Chains A and B, each alone.
Chain A
Amino acid sequence: MIRDVVVWLSQLGKGPGEYDPSWSEQLASTLNFWGLLEGTHVLSLMLFAGTIFLVDFRLLGWSFRRTPVSVVSDRVLPLTVFGFALMVVTGVALFYAKPLLYYHNIWFRLKLIFLVVASINILVFHFRVQRNRDAWDTAESPPAAAKASAWISLSAWILVITFGRFIAYDWYECGKPLPHWANAVQSCAASERGAIELGETAQ
């Protein structure tokens, strides 16, 4: 069902002729625009991930120990949020350029899972962990709950970035002879290139 939406997305804006490209195909075949989108997506990590790392380091007591947590949050997080908006806008556009390729990609699926983990962690921190912040705002080393949030944040974002980079590699591309589990988690059987089980290729 989700795949039907992705297929519909990939065909959107297709002209009447057999070889008229859809909007998605037009975006994927631009000479430089796709590269600029991808480059912006990666470079925005300096703003987004770089600042979120430093906020997490403050919560762990690894940096800015003399600056209240509230000051670091109020001054740095607006930059992080702006960076995140850039990541999302460029990321959605990049997905739109090759939606079916990413839909059947194991690393893309893992990346989305850890994006959800990171998001839940932000909500828990914001609405629960941070509620008694006044009590430890100036503490050089915040309490264990805040540190746990920072550890989850750091781990989740590092995994999101790692899986994001791995999307570009074709180690588990559908249509190649793959172990059963890889075909299963990528829904390769539904993909245009199909699912080929490792060991079946001899027949």
Chain B
Amino acid sequence: MTMAPQDIFPALADWVATLDDTFPGAWVKPYFAQWEVGHILTLALLGGCSILLNLRLIGYGLTDEPPSEVRRGVLKWLNVGVVGVILTGVLIGASNAERLYTSEAFTAKMLGLAAALVLTYGVSLPVAKAEGRASPAAHLAGLLGVLLWAASLWVFGIGKLINPGVWHVIFAAALIVLFVTRGLTRIVYVATGVGLVTALYVMNRVVISPDDYARLDPMNKAFAGGFAVWILAAIAVQLVTTGRGAQGGAFTKAMAYAAILVWITTAAAGRWIAFA
């Protein structure tokens, strides 16, 4: 059983097959590359806004300003980015619909998008407006967003040929932790990370032959788990210690990590549609 849209919505097959022959798919198709550029530019814009907003909630970046002021600064452009990325996504998707219909990465991407919208508009923005304090509604949205994100990561992680893309999410999480940790935690964190990367390289290039996929695959999955534990441990340490100028509690900070990484998950799954 696979998790591609065609497995979940088999009745849509005939409709999907017509999309690239009708408006707007047929209209976009000759200019696919140009619309793709629009998708990437709006992705970059929304990514920059989300990173600045959520790093502030973690207690890093624009700490000279209260979270509500950072929210004010990014809100308009975050909206432009989100609307732009969805609009261009629908257009290039309509011109390429049969490819998406058979892609598990696309399922992961759509679950990720739903999670990203819930975590951005239901948690990050309202919590920043309240200077880091999370209302009961934000807690509920946080729970829903994290469940959707977990579903997205699950499809991404079990999908054949696309699961290496999960490394993007692990790598991004590792970078956020690198930015926000300080002092001894940062030193221990970097040293452990260098050790893990070295071990991963040695196992992939020296111990196991690079073309022995049957043995490499389970080992690399185990390594992905090891990296996740390493990062989550560092995040846990960071959550219980107070960051610079972080007004919110552990929930706010944890949601801020999730709100950045869920966009990374969505974008990474999008890129791996083309690679699988």
Contacts and interface: CB of A to CB of B under 8 A. Distances in A.
Does A associate with B in a complex? yes
Contacts of A15: none
Contacts of B213: 31
Interface stretch (B137-145, B146-154, B228-236, B268-276): B268-276
B41 A158 contact: yes
Interface in A26-40: 31-32, 35-36, 38-40
Contacts of A95: none
A43 B267 contact: yes
A39 B48 contact: no
B264 interface: yes
A72 interface: yes
Interface in B11-54: 33, 36-37, 40-41, 43-52
Interface size class of B (residues with CB under 8 A): 35 or more
Contact of B47 (A47, A67, A76, A162): A47
Contact of A46 (B47, B72, B164, B275): B47
A9 interface: no
Contacts of A188: none
Question: A-B pairs with the 10 shortest C-beta distances?
Answer: A50-B48, A46-B47, A64-B73, A49-B44, A32-B164, A45-B44, A50-B47, A35-B275, A39-B271, A50-B44
Nearest to A45: B44
Contact of B52 (A43, A51, A71, A169): A51
Contacts of B43: 45-46
Contacts of B175: 82
Which secondary structure dominates chain A's binding surface? helix
Interface of A: 31-32, 35-36, 38-40, 42-43, 45-54, 57, 62-64, 66-67, 71-72, 75-76, 79, 82, 158, 161-162, 165-166, 168-169
A2 to B, nearest CB: 27
A36 B172 CA distance: 12
Contacts of A32: 164
Given A51-B51, A57-B77, 20 more contacts: A31-B213, A35-B165, A38-B271, A42-B271, A45-B40, A46-B43, A46-B47, A49-B44, A53-B77, A66-B69, A67-B62, A67-B64, A67-B69, A75-B64, A158-B41, A161-B40, A161-B41, A165-B33, A165-B37, A165-B40
A46 B44 contact: yes
A76 B167 contact: no
Contacts of A76: 52, 61-62
B41 A54 contact: no
12 contacts: A35-B164, A36-B167, A42-B267, A43-B271, A45-B44, A51-B48, A76-B62, A82-B175, A161-B41, A165-B37, A165-B40, A166-B33
Interface string B234-276: 0000000000000000000000000000011001100110010
A45 B179 CA distance: 17
B220 to A, nearest CB: 9
Nearest to A30: B210
Contacts of B267: 42-43, 46
B65 interface: yes
B246 to A, nearest CB: 15
B69 A54 contact: no
Contacts of B6: none
Contacts of A64: 73
Contact of A79 (B51, B63, B72, B272): B51
Given A40-B168, A63-B77, A76-B61, A50 B40 contact: no
